[in-house]
Amino acid sequence: MPWKSLYTNGFIQDPVEPTSFWLNPFGVAWNTIEASDLILVDKNAKVVDGGPVKLMNTAGKKVNQNR
């Protein structure tokens, strides 16, 4: 189940574009996050789509750079 990856790792690989991943945005509390809040980050660590808050934390960049 892909959502399990989101809850245990904080991100999930995009099924259409495998070099991109969905990540919870910086500043949105885990207990309030919804699917529509997630941001899509490309292989260059750029936010390319997603919810209203398009901020990515430093850990999100590190995860993407080390994949």
Q: What pLDDT score was predicted for residue 53?
A: 94
44-61 pLDDT, tens digit per residue, is 889 999 999 999 877 666
What's this model's pTM, rounded to 2 decimal places? 0.74
Count of structural domains within the chain: 1
Q: What pLDDT score was predicted for residue 45?
A: 86
Q: Is it the case that residue 42 has pLDDT exceeding 70?
A: yes
- Residues 7-43 as b/e (b if ≥16 CB within 10 A, e otherwise) read eeebbbebeeeeebbbbbbeebeeeeeeeeebbbbee
Residues of the domain holding 38: 2-65
User: In angstroms, rounded to a whole number, what is the distance separating the alpha carbons of residues 56 and 53?
Assistant: 9
Mean pLDDT of 25-51: 89
